[in-house]
Amino acid sequence: MNPAKTLPVLLSPRVERLHPPFPVFRLRAWHGLAVAAIVVVASGAAVAQGGPTQLSPIGVIMKWMPLLLSGFVFNIAISLMAMTLGTVVGLALGLMAVSETMPVRKVSWAVTQFFRNSPWLVLLFFAMFLVPYEFRLLGVTVPFPDWIKAVIGFSLPVMANVSEIVRGAIRSIPDGQWESAEALAFSRRQTMWMIILPQCLRRMLPPWMNLYSLVTMATVLASVVGVSEMLTLTSQVHAAEGGRPELLAPLYGFALLCFFVYCYPIDRLTRRLEHRFQVRL
Partner 1 sequence: MIRTTLVAFGAMLALGAVSASADVMQDVKNRGKLVVGVKADYKPFGFRDPSGAVVGIEPDLAADVAERLGVELELVPVISANRIEFLQQGKIDLLIATMSDKPERRAVVQAIDPPYYSDSVNILAAKKANLTSWEDLNGAPLCATTGAWYDKDVAQQYVAQIVAFDGSEKPLFALQQGQCVGYLYDQTFIQGKLLEDQWKADFAMPLEGVMEAPWIIAVAQGEDEMKTFMEETTMEWMKDGTIIELEEKWGIEPTAYSKRMHEEHKGS
How many chain residues interact with partner 1 (CB under 8 A)? Answer: 41
243 scored as a contact of partner 1 (CB under 8 A): yes
Q: Which is nearer to partner 1, 21 or 66 (CB)?
A: 66
Alpha carbon of residue 60 to chain centroid: 30
Cβ atoms of residues 154 and 218 within 8 Å: yes
Least spacing, CB of residue 237 vs partner 1, in Å:
6
DSSP 8-state code for residue 194: I
Return the ∠ at Cα 246 (arms to 243 and 247), rounded to 5°: 60
Nearer to partner 1, 118 or 228 (CB): 228
Site for partner 1 in 158-217 (CB under 8 A): none
Name residues whose C-beta falls within 8 Å of residue 178's C-beta, 6 or more positions apart in sequence: 191, 196
Using CB under 8 A as the criterion, what x/- string covers residues 10-49 for binding partner 1?
----------------------------------------
Among 239, 275, 279, 280, binds partner 1 (CB under 8 A): 239
Task: Report d(CA 180, CA 29) in Å as an integer.
Answer: 46
Q: List phi, psi (to 5°) of 184.
A: -90, 15
CA distances from 54 to 68, 233, 234 (A): 20, 21, 19
Q: Determine which residue in the list 244, 257, 262, 263 makes contact with partner 1, applying CB under 8 A.
A: 244
The residue (of 79 and 108) whose beta carbon lies closer to partner 1 is 108
98: contact with partner 1 by CB under 8 A: no
Q: Smallest distance, Å, CB 77 to partner 1?
A: 16
Judged by DSSP in three states, 52 sits in coil
Residue 96 makes contact with partner 1 by CB under 8 A: yes
Q: What is the CA radius of gyration of the chain?
A: 25
Q: Which three-class secondary structure state does DSSP give residue 136?
A: strand
Choose among 232, 233, 218, 202: nearest CA to 263: 218
Q: With CB under 8 A as the contact rule, which of the stretches 11-19, 85-93, 258-266, 272-280 interacts with partner 1?
A: 85-93
Contact track, partner 1, 53-82, x by CB under 8 A: xx--------xx-xx--x------------
Among 35, 197, 225, 257, binds partner 1 (CB under 8 A): 225
Which residue lies nearer to partner 1 by CB, 7 or 130?
130
SS3 percent helix, strand, coil of the chain, rounded to 5, is 75, 5, 20
Phi-psi region of 185 (alpha: psi -120 to 50; beta: other; left: phi over 0): left
**Separation of alpha carbons 75 and 252, rounded Å:** 15
Among 15, 242, 275, 280, binds partner 1 (CB under 8 A): 242
Binding site for partner 1 (CB under 8 A): 50-51, 53-54, 63-64, 66-67, 70, 89, 92-93, 96, 107-108, 111, 129-137, 141, 144, 225-226, 228, 232-233, 235-237, 239-240, 242-245
